[in-house]
Structure 1
Amino acid sequence: MTGAKQIRFDNLPGWHREDHQKAYSAFHASASYLLDNPPKSHGDEVDIDALLACAQKALELGPELGADQARNFFEDHFELANLDEEGFVTGYFEPSFEGSRTQSADYPVPLHTRPNDLVMVTKDQDISHLSSETSFARKLDDNSLTYHVNRSEVMDGALDGQDLELVWLKNWVDAFVIHIQGSARIDLHDGSIMRVAFDGKSGHPYCSLGKRLIETGIFTKDTITMDKLVAYLRDQGQESLDLLRQNPSYIFFKEQKDLPLEYGPLAAAQIPLLPMRSLAIDRNCRTFGIPVWIETCLPQGKNALVPCKQLFFAHDTGSAIQGEARGDLFIGTGAEAGSFAGRIKQQARFTLFLPKRSR
């Protein structure tokens, strides 16, 4: 692992002020999922057996520990690796929209399930002709891989008639927000609630509409937020469709059942997201499941920033999350969480909690 140096817990800024009980409870909540779906070690060179041993120990200790016990759990089972480079964090959330299981004039826009010919790319497959971002691709009859349909083609009906519609929404902007966040809670018109989560993407490189609107002078880096971007798209009416077509990456979803309402959706690590504890990372650099200490400032009120120094857990990933010192904080569900998440664009420092290797 490059760009990291070992430090002591006594030298970790803010560690003594952390709510160690809540941090431990968050790790315990993920423990059984880690054991059921062991992650692969990536650039942080995590000893997976040691990580799973930490998860097993947490299950044996139970979901709640005293403050001192909880602090000792982390200090006894992990060692610290501080990343030298300056990092950056953003926020994401689980949006909530109205929808229907059946198409109608009020609900004309679908979210789609994954097509049968869309497969996850493995390391032994040649995708040199595709984007470096490609993690899913269409498998052809000769077993070669190519891009699947892009967003513009889907909007023109390329998936119609294939029985891939999972749920129907009011408009393409609602669908776009769900695609960006990778999950959603859908309030169905029959009064029930549906949870949907990421299940693959078309393989095309992601194009940020926010960056496009900054380049054209609609926003600046200082003025753009997710709320403002979505409001702008809604104000454009039919013209917003032309903007949406500029991002060719298209996301597919699956329904998630039996998730506790206090949790977010199931993350890429197959762990339910925990508000203000789960973190999306670059899965090429970080290993799912490890604790990550983040030192940053978060927005409060209209213009204020307040220090945040606490433990998050690498549960998720995302197309826009690239680099060793890059993270996306899961805030929660609904409009208020979305407004807060959209304002988070902060410099940060990262310290990895690496499980101590088996002796």
Structure 2
Amino acid sequence: MRAALRAAILAGLVMTAPASAETTYKVLDFSDLGGWEQDDHAAALSVFRKTCIDMQAPDWQSLCAVAENIESPRAFFELFFRPVLIEDGEQALFTGYFEPELDGKLRPDGRFRYPVYSMPPEARRAARWHSRREIEEGPVLQGRGLEIAWVDDPVELFFLQVQGSGRIRLQNGRTIRVGYAGSNGHDYRSIGVELVRRGVYKPHQVSAQVIKNWVNRNPLEGQELLWHNPSYVFFREVSEVPAELGPLGAMNRSITTMRSIAVDPRYVPLGAPVWIEKEGQNPLRRLMVAQDTGSAIKGAQRADIFFGTGDQAGRAAGRLRDPGRMMVLLPIQRAYALLPEGEQ
């Protein structure tokens, strides 16, 4: 899910300030992590193994090798890592994302008439190409054989682009998985924020489902609302990923439901274990792995939790917007090297 646009299911309502000039680091003990002893460390280790092989630094490579022959997963993390609280002055925020599942066909008909496009070569070469309105209203892509499939809901297609990857269920029972191939180069504009600006909803009322319902109730205004976002995402068929596995994350490996998160790689190394302490209605204490990124995920204390595939996962992800804190587990020497002189 390398799509820069898909970051938060709240459709852009999460606003983050530029990275603070002052970033602080505090090395903690595992005893400082609430609920650490109760987590399933074996499940976290299994997810860590999936992507640690792609981490290039020697210390990570060494730990990845050790991880293949470990008897006690909890002891592995406690012996070789230290939890580091990285802060940049911004409040912690957890949101959720998911892999949409749409109904589709390989040939259009009266119901399935909204194309999922692969990327045209001229769009790949251009810094900024046609807008969403121009693509959907005009003939620029029609008749060129760029259609991967046709789906039956333009709003679901819009949110497929926001998420950046998903599955298309065909009428014959086959499933196509699609992944992000590129965009038209226009900046993303949140339709959720636009609804708030118009006074249709208050910020706390807006979710992906609320937006979908409003567009369906107001088809003409709804189409204009979708065109408010000029950004347009193109896809590629991801046939190398089996249907039972999660979609590809930023490390080009399948991500795992409720164990993979998207982070800001300026602060959190991709592939690193991250301890989550999410507050809110359903508190969560869990060791996850940073395996994805997203354009709305900016800041040292910002994470997007992957909820899985389908409508139920989408509803759960769409409700999530909670505070808390997160600690990155770093190799011991790397962790202490981040501290100012005199504190190491």
Match of 1:253 among 232, 235, 241: 235
Pairwise CA distance, 1:321? 1.7
Query: Is the Cα–Cα contact under 8 Å of residues 48 and 289 in structure 2 kept in the other structure?
Result: yes
Q: Which runs of 5+ in 1 are unaligned?
A: 40-47, 120-137, 140-145, 299-304
Counterpart-to-counterpart distance in 2, 1:2 and 1:308: 25
Amino acid at match of 1:96: E
* Structure-1-length-normalised TM-score: 0.81
Q: Between Structure 1 and Structure 2, which shows a larger proportion of helix residues?
A: 2
Counterpart-to-counterpart distance in 2, 1:296 and 1:194: 34
Counterpart-to-counterpart distance in 1, 2:224 and 2:161: 17
Residues 40-59 of structure 1: matches in 2 within 5 Å? 48-59=57-68
Amino acid at match of 1:53: S
Match of 2:180 among 174, 185, 198: 198
Query: Is the Cα–Cα contact under 8 Å of residues 269 and 290 in structure 2 kept in the other structure?
Result: yes
User: What is aligned with 2:204?
Assistant: 222
Identity %: 34
User: What is aligned with 1:81?
Assistant: 84
Deviations along 1:67-109, whole A, 9 cap, x unmatched? xx11111112222211244210111111111001222222111
Match of 2:217 among 232, 235, 242: 235
* Structure-2-length-normalised TM-score: 0.84
SS, match of residue 279 in structure 2: strand
RMSD between aligned residues: 2.1
Residues 1-359 of structure 1: matches in 2 within 5 Å? 2-28=23-49, 30-31=50-51, 34-35=52-53, 37-38=54-55, 48-61=57-70, 65=71, 69-84=72-87, 85=89, 86-119=91-124, 138-139=125-126, 146-157=127-138, 158-297=140-279, 305-357=281-333
Query: Is the Cα–Cα contact under 8 Å of residues 50 and 356 in structure 1 kept in the other structure?
Result: no
Amino acid at match of 1:184: G
Amino acid at match of 1:56: A
Amino acid at match of 2:79: D
- With over 3 angstroms needed to count, the CA separation of the structure-2 counterparts of 1:148 and 1:55, relative to structure 1, is farther
Amino acid at match of 1:290: A
- With over 3 angstroms needed to count, the CA separation of the structure-2 counterparts of 1:318 and 1:81, relative to structure 1, is same
- With over 3 angstroms needed to count, the CA separation of the structure-2 counterparts of 1:26 and 1:167, relative to structure 1, is same
Pairwise CA distance, 1:38? 4.0
Matched residues, number: 311
Amino acid at match of 2:258: M
- With over 3 angstroms needed to count, the CA separation of the structure-2 counterparts of 1:253 and 1:83, relative to structure 1, is same
User: What is aligned with 2:18?
Assistant: none
Query: Is the Cα–Cα contact under 8 Å of residues 263 and 275 in structure 1 kept in the other structure?
Result: no
Q: Between Structure 1 and Structure 2, which shows a larger proportion of strand residues?
A: 1
Query: Is the Cα–Cα contact under 8 Å of residues 135 and 141 in structure 2 kept in the other structure?
Result: yes
Pairwise CA distance, 1:344? 0.1
Pairwise CA distance, 1:203? 2.0
- With over 3 angstroms needed to count, the CA separation of the structure-2 counterparts of 1:307 and 1:171, relative to structure 1, is closer
